């Protein structure tokens, strides 16, 4: 055996050792995932080679130190210099002594590249003594209040930052400019949930003079923040409808190299104005993700989006009747399409036929992803009625279907393959075991479905794979929790 392969073999063994378990936590009234490295550490005592290799495997496997995964403090303190990604979200599980010990362990290490932290941890300013030169990814979660001065100072000092994510914060235009400028390596910027524009620093009391002063101050701040220079951002996420339109506009203008955009529609703004803003200032956009509750807004964005968009992801609360027509108009440039109807019970009489039309007309698609079709009793017979005209399709993903649920008696699949009928997968397809790949799958698949995955194949899976046999480029099909692969 080649001696150079010994570390790789030991690492392969270490990756399959059990490191996590479940323990009931009375404080949360649920089972928590606990981290127990005893098995791996006992194996590491075989010799020095095993110890050196498996120690790295241990902390590579446990790369995100979540406080919910209860880590022994002594083990964490001894091995904290091996951690690269640190996540401190559940502040309630840490008493003051634990926080003090953790800060002391982190203070003199310049190795952490990713930090995910809840705002409460920053109440102790000693954490800011953490060396920030190596920090390339920072994710901050607040409590809905305005971003603090100390936090702004800390973010301003991160000149090597590549990814910045801010959730549940309020900003003034001046705050926003300080947070996003001065970072030449910043590639990804995200504002999530309550990252709203804070209208004024104080409460506006009655009186025309006070109101005029507050509005004048806001206008000055907005004018100062309008010029952000040039931002090197390629991936921008603004998933917050309250984020001010003027700040969106200034960010778009300052990001000429933007290639991926995830956005929700702003409030108090015409759909046409926002769609035109994306079209004019995102000329290099390749991936567009839209979160929308209004069908007309979504159609306007699709019609006005740049011609360079190749991947379109739609998270919709409603399914408009002519959404498929808007997508088909862009079929020449689209290579990936993902549809997620967040509330599938609304307007379901419209979208099954629309999905069928997309599968017949969008011949350039390489990947198609569809969510939340468990509630649609007509989905199976609708999409399996005719052959799909997708000669270039390589990957198909259907999420949210319980393959073992009893189908409607009028469903043609029930006559051939009921829930208890043995089924066979077509020759050439290989099944790989896995788990749910998205939230809707996990929500729908909870219960007694997972223990039955290995017992038999689902009827829907077999019928669908037979239906897709004529697609020449199709190599992978994901149906909720099952992954089927076919060698080309």
Band (pLDDT 50/70/90 cuts) for residue 483 is confident
Alpha carbon distance 351, 323 (integer Å):
8
The per-residue pLDDT for 104 is 67
On the question of pLDDT at 361 being above 80, the answer is yes
- The tens digit of pLDDT for each residue in 423-451 reads 677 777 777 755 545 656 655 544 444 44
The pLDDT assigned to 469 comes to: 86
Please measure the distance between the N-terminal and C-terminal CA atoms of the chain and give it in whole angstroms: 33
Specify which residues 232 forms β-bridges with: none
Instruction: Give the pLDDT confidence of 221-276 residue by residue, as tens digits.
Output: 666 667 788 999 999 999 888 888 888 888 999 999 999 999 988 776 677 888 89
User: Residue 366 has what pLDDT?
Assistant: 95
d(CA 170, CA 147): 6
384 phi and psi, to 5 degrees?
-100, 5
Closest by CA to 264, choosing from 297, 228, 303, 302, is 297
Question: How confident is the model over 10-18, as a mean pLDDT?
Answer: 58
b/e per residue 241-274 (b: at least 16 CB within 10 A) = bebbbbbbbbbbbbbeebbbbbbbbbeebebeeb
> The tokens 């209208």 sit on which residue?
199
Residue 148: which pLDDT band, with cuts at 50, 70 and 90?
A: confident
Tokens of 222: 């907005």
- Integer Rg of the chain from CA: 26
User: Mean pLDDT over residues 323-331, rounded?
Assistant: 89
155-166, pLDDT tens digit by residue?
888 888 999 999
**197: pLDDT strictly greater than 60:** no
pLDDT for 449? 44
Report the percent of the chain where pLDDT is more than 70.
54
Question: Whole-number mean pLDDT of the chain?
Answer: 72
pLDDT tops 70 at residue 57: no
For range 305-311, the mean pLDDT: 94
Q: Environment class of residue 410 by beta-carbon count within 10 Å: exposed (0-12), middle (13-18) or buried (19+)? A: exposed
11 pLDDT more than 90 = no
Please write the tens of the pLDDT for every residue from 368-398.
998 865 544 556 666 777 888 899 999 998 8
- Distance (Å, whole) CA 373 – CA 76: 44
Q: Per mean pLDDT, which of 126-135, 205-214, 217-226, 278-287 is the most reliable? A: 278-287
What is the reported pTM? Answer: 0.77
State the Cα–Cα distance between residues 444 and 457, nearest whole angstrom. Answer: 18
Q: pLDDT value at position 335? A: 95
Q: Which residue has the higher pLDDT, 42 or 330?
A: 330
Q: Is the pLDDT of residue 129 over 50?
A: yes
Write down the pLDDT at residue 411. Answer: 42
> What is the predicted pLDDT for the residue at 146?
80
Which tens digits make up the pLDDT trace of 66-100? 544 556 666 666 666 667 777 766 555 556 666 66
Higher pLDDT pick, 306 / 444: 306
Spatial distance between the Cα atoms of 399 and 87, rounded to a whole number of angstroms:
29
């Amino acid at each position: 055996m080649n001696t150079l392969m010994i570390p790789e073999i030991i690492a392969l063994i270490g990756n399959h050792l059990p490191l996590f378990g479940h323990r009931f936590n009375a404080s949360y009234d649920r089972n928590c995932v606990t981290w127990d490295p005893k098995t791996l550490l006992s194996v590491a005592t075989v010799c020095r080679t095993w110890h050196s290799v498996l120690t790295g495997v241990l902390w590579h496997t446990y790369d995100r130190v979540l406080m919910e995964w209860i880590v022994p403090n002594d083990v964490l303190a001894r091995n904290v210099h091996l951690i690269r990604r640190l996540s401190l979200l559940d502040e309630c599980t840490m008493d003051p002594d634990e926080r003090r010990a953790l800060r002391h362990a982190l203070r003199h290490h310049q190795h952490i590249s990713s930090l995910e932290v809840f705002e409460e941890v920053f109440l102790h300013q000693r954490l800011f003594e953490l060396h920030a030169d190596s920090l390339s990814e920072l994710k901050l979660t607040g409590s809905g209040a305005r971003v603090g001065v100390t936090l702004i100072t800390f973010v301003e000092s991160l000149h090597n930052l590549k990814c910045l994510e801010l959730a549940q914060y309020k900003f003034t235009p001046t705050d926003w400019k300080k947070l996003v400028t001065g970072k030449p390596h910043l590639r990804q910027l995200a504002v999530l949930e309550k990252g709203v524009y804070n209208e004024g620093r104080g409460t506006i009391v009655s009186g025309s003079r006070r109101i005029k002063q507050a509005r004048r101050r806001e206008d000055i701040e907005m004018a100062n923040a309008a010029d952000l220079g040039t931002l090197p951002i390629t991936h921008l996420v603004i998933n917050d409808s309250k984020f001010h339109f003027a700040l969106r506009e200034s960010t778009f203008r300052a990001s000429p190299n933007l290639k991926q955009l995830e956005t929700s529609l702003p409030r108090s703004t015409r759909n046409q104005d926002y769609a035109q803003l994306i079209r004019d200032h995102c000329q290099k956009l390749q991936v567009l993700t839209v979160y929308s509750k209004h069908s007309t807004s979504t159609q306007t964005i699709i019609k006005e989006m740049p011609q360079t968009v190749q991947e379109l992801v739609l998270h919709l609360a409603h399914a408009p009747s002519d959404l498929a027509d808007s997508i088909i108009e862009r079929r020449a440039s689209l290579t990936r399409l993902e549809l997620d109807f967040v509330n599938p019970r609304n307007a379901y009489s419209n979208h099954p036929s629309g999905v069928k039309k997309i599968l017949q007309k969008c011949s350039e698609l390489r990947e198609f992803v569809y969510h939340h079709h468990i509630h649609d009793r007509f989905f199976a017979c609708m999409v399996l009625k005719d052959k799909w005209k997708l000669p270039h399709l390589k990957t198909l993903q259907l999420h949210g279907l319980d393959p073992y649920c009893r189908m409607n008696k009028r469903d043609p699949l029930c006559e051939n393959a009921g829930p208890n009928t043995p089924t066979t997968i077509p020759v050439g397809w290989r099944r790989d075991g896995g788990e749910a790949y998205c939230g809707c799958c996990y929500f729908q698949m909870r219960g007694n479905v997972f223990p039955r995955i290995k017992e038999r194949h689902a009827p829907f899976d077999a019928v669908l794979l037979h239906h897709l046999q004529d697609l020449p480029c199709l190599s992978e099909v994901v149906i909720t929790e099952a992954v089927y692969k076919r060698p080309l």
